[in-house]
Structure formats: C-alpha cells, structure tokens
Structure 1
C-alpha cells in the first residue's frame, strides 16, 4: 500500500467515524435535551455520559480528517488547506464546549439529588442555560463551520485537484453553503434549529461527507498531478539534477 493510498484510507475511515458516532451521540442526549426539568428529575446520567464519549470521538475524528488530508491538499492551495484545518479545529472545540455544558447539567442534577435543601428553581434555570449553550455550540460548530470548512473549502480543494470525481464534489460545493446559510437563518430566528428546514438543509452536506468517506476507503485518490509531488523522491541539493 502506497503512502497516498494509506492516507486516503485513513481519511475515509475518519469521515465515516464522524457520521457513525455523531448521529447516535445526538440521539442519546434526548432525555436531557427534551426535558427542561432534567436537572431535578431521575435523570439518565450513564446515557448522557455515553453520548459525551461518542461526541469526543467525533471531535477527534474531525481534526484527524483535516490533519491527515493537509499534506495532500496543501499541494493545491496551502492557504485554503490551513483554513480547512482551522475550521475543523474550531468546530471540534465547539463540540467539546457543548459536551462540557451538558455534563455540567448532569453534575448539577447529581448535586441536587444529594442535597435535599437545594433550590430547584435556580437549578432548573441553570440547567436550561447550559442546554441553550449546547445548542449554540452545535449551531456554530457542526452547523456553520462544518458547512464552511468540510463543505465549501474541502469541496473546492477536491474539485480543483481532481482527487475525487468532480461530480461528487458538487455535493460539498452546494451542500456546504446551504448548511452555512441555514445556520445563519437559525441564528436570526427565521426557523428553529430542530426543524424540517434545518433537516433538509443538511441532506447534501451529509451525502458529501458519506460519499467522500466511502470513496476514499474503496478507491483512494484519483491519479492527479498533485500526487506526483507527494510521491516523488526528494532530490539532494548537491545532486546534478537539482543543480540544473
């Protein structure tokens, strides 16, 4: 297996990991996100902890995709490739902040259960604020930044380089901006974050990430000129060829 084939395989696996772990992770948060009184109720703390663990895996895989692909796509545009890495890092940072906010709700609930004299009303208010913080981090991270970085920037790099079929990259080139604009619409209250319109807006972006992951695992990169620079052996500075 060549180094570029190995890079494509690892990147593809990481993309699939982000999908496989992000969806069940979000669903497992259900008891906390859907119950405004979770902090003073019986709770489902083990389930929330599992969801948090799965989201940590997603955050790590997000950064991994950018780090693994950077040596390849920087041959097309180093500036855009750095932008892609930066978007993925900030996106993952937002995910981690969201995880901490929900784990804080769990801590408040456990403290309330242990202290019979705790103020239930204040704890419910604090719990709602922490859930709202999680919603904001999800909007900015997997919403706005994923559409910008993983959709538009990576889609453009893949389109220009031809590393994957150009027809497939249009899923990202269109889906990324759609997700980004949908996030802006949610930010300004056009519709809610959990709505039919938000779901529709993510379809192309989801298809882009899934198809890219599968293609890189099964096929690898297409043979394009920028790979020649990656795979060509380095020529010593004193070599006659290097001096011509």
Structure 2
C-alpha cells in the first residue's frame, strides 16, 4: 500500500513537471506568426516539448490505474468515473500531440513554396487550424480532468483518506479548472488564475502521499 501511494505521488509530480516544462517549450513556438517557416528550424525543441507532454499523458493514465483499487472501496461509481475521466484525458492529450507533428510535416512544403502565394496561404490556414485543434483538445482534456477529479476529491473528503482541508483545496481547485476550461472552449480566456488552487492541490497531495500516505483508518461520512 505504501509503495503504491509513493508511486502515485511520484506520478502526480512527474505529470505536473513534465507538462509545465513541455508546454513551456511548445507554447512559444505554436504562438508565432511565422509558425510554418520557423517550426522546422525549431524541430529539436518541438520534439523535446512533445516528448515531455507525452510523458504527462502516460502518467495520468498510470495514476488512474493505481488509484482505482483503493478508491472503489469507498465509492465504486465515483471511483469508476474518476478512472474513466483520466483515461479520456490521456486519450485527448495524445490526440493533441498529433498536431505538432502535423505542423512539422506542413513546414517542408511551406518553406519550399518560397514567396507568399495562394498555396502558401492554404498551408498557413492549415497550420492555424492545427494549432487551434491542439488547444481545443487540451481544453477538452482539462474539462474531463476537472469533472473526474471533483469525484476523486469527493471520495477523499467523505472517506478522510487525507485531511479534509486538502480535499477542500482540491474541490475548489478543480471547480476553478472546470470554469476555466469551459470558458476557454467558449472562446473566453481568463488566463491561468483559475488554475492556481488546482495546481496547489496537485503539488501538496503527492507530497502528502509520499511522506504520510493515505489514512490507515479512514471513516466514510454518513
């Protein structure tokens, strides 16, 4: 049990760290106006960011599989909902990672086109749509994550597997993430402010699991 909790904590930190570094590498590249011209010269950076985000996508599925046996003891339906949400999140993140590879494929004909023309404009349009698809898939992944993690935090709160103050931070954080991702899909970007409580939870929870683990004598609330 302690080994599983430590592994889950490590996967949470690996997932968070890999995503932060990977998106920090990819995002500046994807927001360039001369994207297709420059992306080929930044090929190594694209692959580095892509690989780190791939690690994130795999890690979230691992978290779901390792937590499922413990969570289903306290609320089987919520546990299945959390498991399903993290698998869906992983699948959406993997789909989003196809987009940088498409951009690399589009960059070659764009460079070969040379002077701007109708063909170059068509490639630019495809490139812009690919970037939009990447971020839309990410927002959908965050929407699914927030819904499933609200179920996860509800189990933690009811069972007292971790202190209730920590469960409350998670409930607040994932409510903010749900609002942020919903608004982003609707075209309203409020920035990263609503991500902060959830980010705190995803740092504090894994450290708690690695140091103390789940409560050995949890009590389900009425």
Unaligned runs of 5+ residues in structure 1 are 227-244
Distance in structure 1 (CA, Å) of the matches to 2:11 and 2:120: 42
Is the CA contact 1:36–1:128 (under 8 Å) kept in the aligned structure 2?
no
The alpha carbon displacement at 1:146 in A equals 1.9
User: Which residue of 5, 11, 17 corresponds with 1:8?
Assistant: 5
Q: TM-score, normalised by structure 2?
A: 0.91
Q: Measure how far apart 1:7 and its partner are.
A: 1.1
Structure 2: tracts of 5 or more residues without a match:
none
Q: Report deviation, 1:114.
A: 5.3
Partner of 1:166: 164
1:17 matches 2:36? no
State whether structure 2 residue 65 is matched by structure 1 residue 67.
yes
The TM-score normalised by the length of structure 1 is 0.83
State whether residues 171 and 205 of structure 1, in contact with CA within 8 Å, keep that contact through their aligned partners in structure 2.
yes
State the distance in 2 between where 1:186 and 1:26 align: 17
Residue aligning to 1:199: 192
Aligned-residue RMSD, C-alpha: 1.8
Compared with structure 1, are the counterparts of its residues 225 and 199 closer, same or farther at alpha carbon in structure 2 (3 Å cutoff)? Answer: closer
The 8 Å contact of residues 161 and 218 in structure 2, kept in 1 or not, is answered as no
In 2, the alpha carbon distance for the partners of 1:36 and 1:139 equals 22
| Structure 1 SS opposite 2:74 | coil
Contact 2:140 2:185 (C-alpha < 8 Å) held by counterparts: no
CA–CA distance in 2 between the matches of 1:10 and 1:111? 45
How far the C-alpha of 1:186 sits from its partner, in A, is 2.2
Larger gyration radius, structure 1 or structure 2: 1
Preserved CA contact (<8 Å) 2:15 2:59 = yes
1:115: Cα distance to partner? 6.3
Aligned residues: 216
The equivalent of 2:147 in structure 1 is 148
Rounded Cα–Cα distance in structure 1 between residues aligned with 2:108 and 2:35: 11
Question: Which stretch of structure 1 is more off in the superposition, 54-63 or 154-163?
Answer: 154-163
Does residue 224 in structure 1 map to residue 221 in structure 2? no
CA apart distance, 1:38: 1.3
